[in-house]
Structure 1
Amino acid sequence: MISFEQFNAAGTATDAGLFIPVADLPGVDAAELDGTTAGSDKAVLALLNVFYNTLSPTAFDKLGISVAKPNPTGQGSDLIAQNYSMVVDYLVDHEAQAIEMIPVPTVGTQDGVGAIALADLFPTAAAVAAAGVTAAGIVIPNDELAGYGAPLAASIPADARGYLGSLYHYIVGEAVVRSAETASAITAKTRGAATGFTPPPAWTQATNPVSGIAAADLIKRSFFRTTLSITVQLLLDQETQTFDVNSVTS
């Protein structure tokens, strides 16, 4: 299971990181965060739904990130598979020898449009030290996300797209796929190969550009996107008319 810390009540975090309380995890009951694989899978499902529910509406302005949640597919009696995916665009700055998110515009009518705040997805999340946690929820350790390029939770900038992209990458990268030896509700995960693309003209137009990239700098920039995909199996309970993650072995 993914190595974030689960708390079904107030407790002490082993690692510093980002604390996301139950209030920001739709469908999760505090008692379910009991340190088990099922608790981890429930938290993963909640995080994936937050990403989709927040970022999928076309009215929500975002730059360089898109999400999808295809129709679920049947996998047997009262079993369905729900896939989630995110596509993240990156800029390669050859001059600085760095990779970064697509910068948001700083001029014109689009000034600042496309940035995403952490609070847009997790309104009551907060950075915590390796110390007391005052409520039920999960802590995503700084050390875990550092390997995916994320800043420290205490240093997440106002535009949190970099952290959010790293968090999704971490979920897909660290999720354990079900096997004969390992129980999990995760039945598949993939990270697609990086695919180069040419930015649309609107990104660098002279007036009201959609990005913060200057047209004159395009010769020193390259662009690629990566697709992250994960599938969760859900079990339907016909007696209670509810569903839950199906954390079992194959």
Structure 2
Amino acid sequence: MPAIQPTDLFPGYDLLDATDPAPSQGIFIPLADLSGLTAAEADAATGDGRKVAYEVLRKVESSFTAIPTADRPTRMNVTLGTPTGVNANIVRRSYTLTFDVSIGATDMADEA
């Protein structure tokens, strides 16, 4: 099976130590917020890009689900699919993210 590094999915990706300065403007997600991801798995050069993507999606889904239904956006939804058996030891999980997009702008539609 081909291995993919986190940089294959996020080209500017970098794993920072606690004392490292940010290399440029960007988005920072503390490693501790992705509870199932280790520093070794998140390493830009030797880590597992699949694991990074999986843990980011798990966090998005769990955080979205934690928002009271009445307070959730109406033009965005995140759902976790029913596990499907692959074999006796593996199940397949699916995450679906949907966004209403403004025609022409190809960007998210306003909530109002």
When normalised by structure 1's length, the TM-score is 0.35
Aligned CA RMSD, in angstroms, stands at: 2.6
In the alignment, which residue of structure 2 is the partner of 1:82? 93
1:54 maps to a residue whose letter is S
Q: Residue 108 of structure 2 aligns with which residue?
A: 101
Partner of 2:61: 52
- Identify the structure with the greater strand proportion: 1
Q: Distance in 2 between matches of 1:37 and 1:30?
A: 8
Segments ≥4 residues shifted beyond 6 Å = none
Runs (5+) with no aligned partner, structure 1: 105-210, 212-250
SS, match of residue 85 in structure 2: strand
> Which structure would you say has the larger Rg?
1
> Once the two structures are aligned, what percentage of the paired residues are identical?
27
Tell me the amino acid that sits aligned with residue 56 of structure 2.
L
After TM superposition, give the deviation of residue 5 of structure 1 in Å.
2.2
| Residue identity in the other structure for 1:52 | E
1:7 aligns to 2:15 (yes or no): yes
Which residue is equivalent to 1:205? Answer: none
Cα distance change on mapping 1:47 and 1:4 into 2, 3 Å: farther
Residues 198-234 of structure 1: CA deviation (Å, up to 9, x unaligned): xxxxxxxxxxxxx2xxxxxxxxxxxxxxxxxxxxxxx
Of the candidates 9, 23, 43, which is equivalent to residue 52 of structure 2? 43
Deviations 1:64-91 (A, max 9, x none): 1011111111112311211111111012
For residues 19-62 of structure 1, give each alpha carbon's deviation from its aligned partner in whole angstroms, at most 9, with x where no partner exists.
21112213122343223342x22221111012211223524421
Runs of 5+ in structure 2 lacking a partner?
Answer: none
The correspondence for 2:80, drawn from 64, 69, 74, is: 69
Higher relative contact order at CA 8 Å, sep ≥6: structure 1 or structure 2?
Answer: 1
C-alpha distance in structure 2 between counterparts of 1:77 and 1:8, whole Å: 38
Q: Distance in 1 between matches of 2:23 and 2:79?
A: 34
Residue 18 (structure 1) aligns with: 27
Deviations 1:112-157 (A, max 9, x none): xxxxxxxxxxxxxxxxxxxxxxxxxxxxxxxxxxxxxxxxxxxxxx
SS for the counterpart of 1:17 is: coil
